[in-house]
Amino acid sequence: MNPIDQLFQKLRAERRKAFIPFITAGDPSLAATAAFVRKLAESGASLVEIGFPYSDPIADGPIIQASYTRALERGIQVDPILATSRQMAGDPALAARGIPLVGMVSYSLVHRRGPRKFLEQAQAAGYSGAIVPDLPLEESESLARLAAALDFKLIHLVTPTTPMDRAARIARLSTGFLYCVSVTGVTGERDRLPDQVLDQLRRLRKETDVPLCVGFGISKPEHVQMLREEVDGVIVGSAFVRRLAEAGTRPLEDVVNEMGALAKLLVTALNPL
């Protein structure tokens, strides 16, 4: 069974929700990325999403865009990311806890390498699935077929502006989990989330049994508390990525510990004792 399926099966049996942090690979370095992932695993992450830097992100806000730019300026490429990911996947902090890795990757990177080769190499590097945000559903059939043959999850997104009939189709085709975008616009920290996201989640729940995970704009315990009764997991990106920039001017250990503290705070809000 794919590790993502194993994770959600276990969490549902325990009546717990998945905490999914996102960080950019290679910002400020791949060694730092490994340290961040280790700390997030130790602090309660259920699954870690790794962003593969690319030059034309379509939904990322200024914080994640800047992080991608910094990594690309340092020459971060796919092969070193995969090599570091392979090391992370074997790290006892992840392996002993059964924490899967999921890649957030542009289809341009997949296409350039060749879809089959990319999926095989990603899986060999410890990835259990991928989110390909710039691949339209209508053009995803070939990649979905290759992924299914490898038991590699292809995770789709729905947004608040996705028509419900289309959202239902996306939900039925997504594997691993469905990435539910909470707000209209790009990623980034926000003061509050729109109430409409709860209605969207309730409607989607009727369309699929796949886990529903919400991302974009989540950064505070209050956001997590609002969502926890309707979701299978929450995805937090910008609140962590914002701290990556600080790692260039502050001691790495301090930044790592702050990320761990934030993770613990959000995990407690998501899964109160």
State the DSSP H helix or E strand holding residue 265, giving kind and residue range, or none if neither: helix 252-270
Q: What are the angstrom distances between the C-alpha of 47 and each of 190, 193, 235? A: 23, 23, 9
The residue among 65, 7, 21 whose CA lies nearest residue 262 is: 21
Range of the domain at 207: 3-11+18-270
Side chain identity at 259, as an amino acid letter? M
Sole residue written with tokens 């325990």: 14
In the chain, how many domains are there? Answer: 1
Contact 78, 53 (CB under 8 A): no
Residue 135: partners with Cβ closer than 8 Å, 6 or more residues away: 107, 110, 143
Strand partners, 19: 234
pTM, two decimal places:
0.93
CATH code, 157: 3.20.20.70
Task: Choose the catalytic residue: 5, 60, 189, 232.
Answer: 60
Catalytic residue list contains 49: yes
Q: Active site residue: 5, 27, 42, 49, which one?
A: 49
**195 belongs to the catalytic site:** no
Tens digit of each residue's pLDDT, the chain (273 residues): 999 999 999 999 999 999 999 999 999 999 999 999 999 999 999 999 999 999 876 656 688 889 999 999 999 999 999 999 999 988 887 888 889 999 999 999 999 999 999 999 999 999 999 999 999 999 999 999 999 999 999 999 998 888 989 999 999 999 999 999 876 543 434 445 556 788 888 889 988 999 999 988 788 899 899 899 899 999 998 889 988 888 878 899 999 999 999 999 999 999 997
